Amino acid sequence: MIYVYYTTIYLKVNVTCFMALTKQLTIFNRAPVFSLILWRRVLNKGLNNPMNEKNLDALNNEMMTLIRRSTLDKKHGGLDRSSYTLLHYLSRHDKTGVKALAEELGLDTSTISRQTAVLESKDYVVRIPDPQDGRSSYFQITEFGAQSLANARRLRLQRYEEIFEEWSPEECQTFRTLLAKLNRKLTE
């Protein structure tokens, strides 16, 4: 970051934006009146706009890396991402059906059926027939499933503690806030 001084105002700008600003400064020096509208146009020309192609490409690369690395976390808890997610949801909700799980997690029912079949074969969940509709059933986490989830959660939190140990509390809070904002946007 560098600071640009113009009249009585300091502007903090990144280096990539500095070249556009220096071009605009020569125009502004000829103008008798400082215009915030012109500065806004310079700063929003795309160089600081989060939607420019360079920023989008960098975000794409970071998201791919994050997703790839976060799906390799089976060694940190023994549960793959889908098993962890389903068990986490089932631990917080009483008996839940396939349709409700599919809607909540944004997946189709065939995917949920396959994933719950895996959890059932490992004794993480139990299938409970619906007494009012013999064709449908609910899933409930077992004691073994709850213990496995608690172990995986403990190991994941230890891993996150290692990852974020050099971050300040403010950085962690900012990251959490931005991540929550991203997750909310992804659900729209």
In tens, the pLDDT along 114-155 reads 999 999 999 999 999 988 877 888 999 999 999 999 999 998
Q: How far apart are CA 137 and CA 126, in angstroms?
A: 10
Q: How far apart are CA 125 and CA 107, in angstroms?
A: 19
pLDDT of 63? 84
127 close to 120: Cβ distance less than 8 angstroms: yes
Q: How far apart are CA 104 and CA 94, in angstroms?
A: 14
User: What is the average pLDDT across 94-98?
Assistant: 88
Write out the two tokens for 181.
């904002």
77 close to 152: Cβ distance less than 8 angstroms: yes
pLDDT of 167? 95
Residue 14 has pLDDT above 50, yes or no: no
User: What is the average pLDDT across 77-90?
Assistant: 88
The least confident of 41-50, 54-63, 100-109, 130-139 is 41-50
Burial of 37 (0-12, 13-18, 19+ CB in 10 A): exposed
Cα separations in angstroms, 120 against 51, 91, 143, 159:
44, 14, 13, 27
79 close to 146: Cβ distance less than 8 angstroms: no
pTM of the model: 0.64
Which residue did the predictor score with more confidence, 105 or 77? 105
Which residue did the predictor score with more confidence, 70 or 181? 181
pLDDT of 49? 59
Percent of the chain with pLDDT over 70: 69
Confidence of residue 172 (pLDDT cuts 50, 70, 90): very high
User: What is the average pLDDT across 86-103?
Assistant: 92
Confidence of residue 34 (pLDDT cuts 50, 70, 90): very low
pLDDT of 71? 65
User: What is the average pLDDT across 166-178?
Assistant: 95
Residue 87 has pLDDT above 90, yes or no: yes
Q: How far apart are CA 15 and CA 95, in angstroms?
A: 55
Closest Cα to residue 43, out of 12, 10, 5, 6?
Answer: 12
